[in-house]
Structure 1
Amino acid sequence: MKNPIQWLRSLVFITQMYLAMLVLGIVFAPWAMVSPKGARTACKTYARWSLWTARWMVGIRSEVRGQVPEGEVIVAAKHQSFLDILIIFNAVPSARFIMKRELMWTPVIGVYAKRLGCVPVNRGKRGAAIAKMVKDVAKESTEPGQLIIYSQGTRVAPGARKPYKIGTAVLYDGLNQPCVPAATNVGVFWPRTGIYRKPGLAVVEFLEPMQPGIARDEFMAQLEERVESRSDALMREAGFDPDQAAVQA
């Protein structure tokens, strides 16, 4: 049985989060329209506000481990909920995300994503869209920074197993940049769906970079093994057994 007081606190937290998104989106809009720096400042402010309020409203503390990536790199991250987006965006200097094209049409998020240089991709055409994006980057038509891709293509609940998509390897081959794997346990506390937020320590951990030049099949195998094994370890540290959850599923 979930704690009803915690459920109520979670509801209040989520409500104020969306209100803050709307307010900050409006306040920063004039600056964001004329400068990508304004859009990034707005999104950084929102991420910090959300992480701060999560700490004292619902008891979710956040922590970043490992060497935070800087410069021109690909970050191939485990995606469990909106929380890992907030933590990663707050941690790295200049993040831009590969995201579903539908999100570009959502209020506030879509406008700011465009200003940040996020890359929309079509469902079912992910490989082609990423290949086009590789060409655009090579022509210096996008802002430099850390390119965040969620290799499984969607949010994955703790303990669930979903295949890694080839798009990350297409980026890795085409951009000839280091790839930094990123593991997480945030889904234990902030699920991909629902209202309830569970207190605890949510972690995103940046792992050792994978340098350019690894063959595609080997790269994908290493990436999946490193991210999944470390994410499992972080979830166990949080008191969640991913192997047991996978069996029950």
Structure 2
Amino acid sequence: MAVFRSILFNVLAFLLTLVMGVGAFPVRWFAHGLALPYAKLWSRLVLRLFQAICGVEVRITGQEHLATNGPLLIASQHQSAFDTLIWMLLVPAPSYVMKGELRRIPLLGPMLILTGMMPIERADGARALRILLRETDTAVQKGKQIIIFPEGTRTAPGEHVPLKPGIAAMATHTRLPVVPVATNSGRFWGRNAFFKRSGVLHVAIGAPIGPANRKVLLPQIEKEWRALEKEFS
């Protein structure tokens, strides 16, 4: 049954993405203001397919820590493609820090730019950091909620990797608090995994960490992640 569900979900999600990717051309050409609502709709439909077909219950705790329509820094664990979808629905004006190569994906890439995402070429070193801070300033001025995955890549549940310093630079630069988020999404929708599993998928949102210097913030984020993981371990 799990195999059949996975095949059905992957096929339907691909077809939905293809149809909505083609359907996005009028938005890209004539209605830029509809880009974010259109992307939110796509995310909502994909996640509904995931939950309904794969038998996944998404349980979110701590949403009260997102009670703002203004700028925010969100430092989330990253285990799955799920993590890149759910934030489209949890905050009003999401802006993801993402790998620069994603903007070159046919159909999807141009929409990412129109929706206000922040593509960063990490191989550019110091220049990438300058661009990140410049893009951060723009997002903050527009009142966006910035989502960054400090691990830098998708990791397996329970896997710990050194955090990238970008979030610390952003927090120091903006003096905004950082909201830590833990998840177990990789148990149900793994990295590059064709097969999906049923169960209760948790997204645990922690209390904001006040502005801190770079040396202190990264260990604080990891500490909060470990505490949040206890909610679903």
TM-score over 0.5 (shorter chain): yes
* Structure 1: runs of 5+ lacking an equivalent: 237-249
Letter in structure 1 aligned against 2:112: A
1:73-84 counterparts in 2 under 5 A? Answer: 73-84=72-83
CA deviation string 1:5-47 (max 9, x = no partner): 2112101101111211121222233134444431111111111
CA contact (8 A) 2:139 2:146 kept: no
String of CA shifts for 1:224-244, please: whole Å, max 9, x gaps: 11123323x2452xxxxxxxx
CA drift at 1:222: 0.4
Paired positions, count: 230
* AA in 2 matched with 1:46: W
SS in 2 for 1:124: helix
Q: Does 1:7 align with 2:3?
A: yes
State how far apart, in whole Å, the 2-side matches of 1:116 and 1:33 are: 13
Match in the other structure for 1:19:
15
Q: Is the 8 A contact 1:73 1:179 kept in 2?
A: yes
Give, as a single letter, the amino acid of the residue that structure 2 aligns with 1:59.
G
- Summarize deviations over 1:49-87 as a string: whole Å, max 9, x none: 112111221101212211252310111100000112211
Which residue number corresponds to residue 40 of structure 1?
Answer: 36
- Would you say the 8 A contact 1:104–1:111 is kept in 2? yes
Q: For 1:152 and 1:163, locate their aligned partners in 2 and report how far apart those are by CA, in whole Å.
A: 7
Letter aligned with residue 146 of structure 2: L
CA shift digits 1:89-138 (9 cap, x unpaired): 21111111111111110122211110011111123335542332323443
Query: In 1, Cα distance between the equivalents of 2:207 and 2:10?
Result: 34
Q: Map residues 108-127 of structure 1 onto 2, 5 A cutoff.
A: 108-125=107-124
What TM-score results when the alignment is normalised by the length of structure 1?
A: 0.85
- What's the RMSD between the two structures over aligned residues? 2.0
Ranges in structure 2 where 5+ consecutive residues have no aligned partner: none
- 1: distance between equivalents of 2:139 and 2:154? 30
- For the residue of structure 1 that corresponds to 2:123, the secondary structure is coil
Structure 1 position 211, deviation (Å): 2.1
Q: In structure 2, what is the equivalent of residue 187 of structure 1?
A: 186
CA distance in 1, matches of 2:168, 2:140: 21
Instruction: Supply the distance in 2 between the matched residues of 1:193 and 1:41 (Cα, whole angstroms).
Output: 27
Provide the C-alpha distance between the structure 1 equivalents of 2:231 and 2:194, rounded to a whole number of angstroms: 23
Q: Contact between 1:87 and 1:204, CA under 8 Å: does it hold in 2?
A: no
Answering whether residue 222 of structure 2 is matched by residue 228 of structure 1, we say no
1:149 is matched with: 148
Q: Distance in 1 between matches of 2:140 and 2:220?
A: 31
Percent identity, aligned pairs only? Answer: 28
Deviates more, 1:118-127 or 1:75-84: 118-127
Going from structure 1 to structure 2, the CA distance change for 1:55 and 1:129 (only over 3 Å counts) comes to: same
Q: 2-side partners of 1:61 and 1:139: how far apart? A: 35
